[in-house]
Amino acid sequence: MMGDEGGRLRRWLRQVSRTMTLRQVLAALAAVVVLASGLFGGLATAETTGPAALEPGEEIHAEPFDLTVDRVRWSTDLGLDEEVRGRYLAVVATLENTSDHPVYTGTLRDTIRLRGLDGLYSGLSGDETGASEDARPQVLVMTDGSPLSAAAPGLEYEVAFVWEQTESEPLPAEATVEVSQWTWRRSTLDDQFMWFDPTPTHEGTFDVERGRES
């Protein structure tokens, strides 16, 4: 039986070669493969999914944090000993470092971002503004307004991620909050272990509430 099948295939190929060019033969074979794959479940495709939904007051996990975003608020007075360059936009959240390793301020500042806004100051000083995706916040402890320099393992903090927005921009009615997770791994440069590879895992749109004005 196998010999008969092989003979028929060779005869068919000889017949095709007399009437079709090599390019036509290859195109026909490709069409057969695509048709067969469609009949038997289709071609395998990678399923792409975006960040999960982020809801006010709902605890999520974004390594290494258990994190709850409570609200987004604007204000011109946070009780800080500094002059605001426009208005503050603050994401108020509770976070707990569930890992065995401290998380320092550089990582904290890149854990939450605002999306879809403009006119945010790029740094803690200066006049340069731009898109919210490129602006890094201060991370302040809610109880006293001091910067959170590190989140120790096993401890919970109520914090505000704070940006400044120029007054020339309209006051936003809502803001999209994006949360990223991190990976604890060895550096490829100096072999030290640190938090690397921020990857967005959750995203949600929040109303911007009115806060205290100066």
Q: Which residues contact 34 (CB under 8 A, 6 or more apart)?
A: 43
- Give the closest residue to 62 by CA, choosing from 52, 75, 72: 52
**pLDDT value of residue 47:** 56
Token pair of 102, please? 């401290």
Tell me the mean pLDDT in the region 8-13.
Answer: 60
**pLDDT value of residue 102:** 98
What Cα–Cα distance (Å) separates residue 50 from each residue in 134, 154, 166, 197? 20, 29, 30, 17
The CA-based angle 7-10-5, given to 5 degrees, is 35
Residues 80 and 161 reside in one and the same domain? yes
Residue 86 lies in a domain: yes
Residue 44 lies in a domain: no
Residue 162 lies in a domain: yes
Q: Which domain holds residue 175?
A: 52-210
CATH number at residue 83: 2.60.40
Residue 45 lies in a domain: no
- pLDDT (tens digit, 9 = 90+) per residue, 20-48? 555 555 555 555 444 444 444 544 444 55
Model confidence at 135, in pLDDT bands (50, 70, 90)? very high
Residues 89 and 145 reside in one and the same domain? yes
- Give the closest residue to 144 by CA, choosing from 130, 159, 162, 127: 159
Give the torsion sign (CA, 119, 122, 125, 126).
Answer: negative
Residues 26 and 68 reside in one and the same domain? no
Question: Is residue 150 over pLDDT 50?
Answer: yes
Tell me the mean pLDDT in the region 177-195.
Answer: 96
Model confidence at 168, in pLDDT bands (50, 70, 90)? very high
Residues 59 and 103 reside in one and the same domain? yes
Residues 111 and 27 reside in one and the same domain? no
Cross-strand pairs, 74: 89, 210
Token pair of 87, please? 């208005």
Residues 11 and 72 reside in one and the same domain? no
Number of domains in the chain: 2
**pLDDT value of residue 40:** 45
Indicate the pTM of the whole model: 0.77
Cross-strand pairs, 145: none
